[in-house]
């Protein structure tokens, strides 16, 4: 093959390759409430308390989904969780990027020590390791009785992670585990971010 033919083939491959990437990127679109990716592996603690399904246990709309072993919760869903975890705001910082502000409240009558928050986001309704598209950890430390702390985290997804969310019709599952020296609980919530 002569040099001109090789140059023409390379040119066609580059145009097709770039066009394919542009079409893929354009097809992802905004992700609404999510963005952010992480290649770092986080060891999330096992919940020693109740797993709360719904809106993170906030405003009474969360609910006691039972113990982490699938058994019914001991309080029948009538008492508030030891902590409340709520999403305060979500600001767009790019096509697959969001600045997410969350609030953690200590609902107990005692100071919480050794508090850390572990958040994982999964594409779709699954919490399988292969569906995880983002994770982050925040050390809070000490949180006085009835006190709240607010943090903003940047959540960025790669284009392949954003595509994985798109393939699940824009649905994500957010699993947040709050660990302190005396209790560890988990909040699980689904959101449509399409």
pLDDT of amino acid 48 = 58
Q: Of 149, 151, 162, 170, nearest to 89 (Cα)?
A: 151
pLDDT of amino acid 77 = 55
CB 177 within 8 Å of CB 104: no
Q: Of 189, 188, 50, nearest to 107 (Cα)?
A: 50
pLDDT of amino acid 132 = 96
- List, in order, residues 6 or more apart from 77 with CB less than 8 Å away: 63, 64
| Domain boundaries 31-192, CATH class | mainly beta
- What three-state secondary structure class fits 97? strand
pLDDT of amino acid 191 = 87
Question: Per-residue pLDDT for the chain (194 aa), expressed as one digit of tens each?
Answer: 443 333 333 332 322 232 333 222 322 333 333 334 434 444 656 655 567 776 433 333 333 333 333 333 344 556 789 999 888 988 889 888 989 899 999 999 999 999 999 999 999 999 999 999 999 999 999 999 999 999 999 989 999 999 999 999 999 999 999 999 999 999 998 988 87
pLDDT of amino acid 31 = 32
CB 121 within 8 Å of CB 170: no
pLDDT of amino acid 171 = 92
Q: How far apart are CA 170 and CA 163, in angstroms?
A: 9
pLDDT of amino acid 192 = 87
Q: What is the pTM of this model?
A: 0.65
- List, in order, residues 6 or more apart from 8 with CB less than 8 Å away: none
How many degrees, rounded to 5, is the angle at CA 31 between CA 38 and CA 153?
Answer: 45
- What three-state secondary structure class fits 189? strand
Q: How far apart are CA 99 and CA 97, in angstroms?
A: 7
Domain boundaries, the chain: 1-30, 31-192
Kind and range of the H or E element at 145?
A: none
pLDDT of amino acid 83 = 94
Our CA dihedral for 48, 50, 56, 62, rounded to 10 degrees, sits at -170
pLDDT of amino acid 78 = 65
């Amino acid at each position: 093959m002569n040099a001109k033919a090789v140059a023409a083939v390379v040119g066609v491959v580059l145009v097709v390759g770039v066009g394919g990437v542009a079409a893929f990127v354009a097809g992802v679109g905004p992700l609404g409430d999510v963005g952010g990716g992480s290649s770092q592996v986080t060891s999330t603690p096992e919940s020693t308390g109740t797993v709360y399904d719904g809106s993170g246990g906030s405003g009474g709309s969360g609910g006691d989904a039972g113990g982490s072993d699938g058994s019914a919760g001991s309080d029948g869903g009538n008492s508030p969780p030891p902590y409340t975890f709520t999403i305060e705001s979500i600001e767009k910082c790019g096509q697959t990027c969001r600045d997410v502000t969350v609030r953690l409240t200590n609902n107990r009558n005692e100071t919480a020590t050794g508090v850390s928050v572990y958040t994982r986001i999964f594409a779709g309704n699954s919490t399988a390791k292969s569906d995880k598209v983002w994770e982050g950890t925040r050390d809070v430390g000490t949180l006085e009785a009835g006190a709240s702390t607010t943090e903003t985290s940047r959540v960025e997804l790669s284009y392949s992670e954003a595509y994985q969310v798109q393939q699940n019709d824009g649905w994500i599952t957010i699993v947040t585990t709050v660990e302190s020296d005396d209790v560890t609980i988990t909040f699980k919530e689904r959101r449509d971010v399409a």
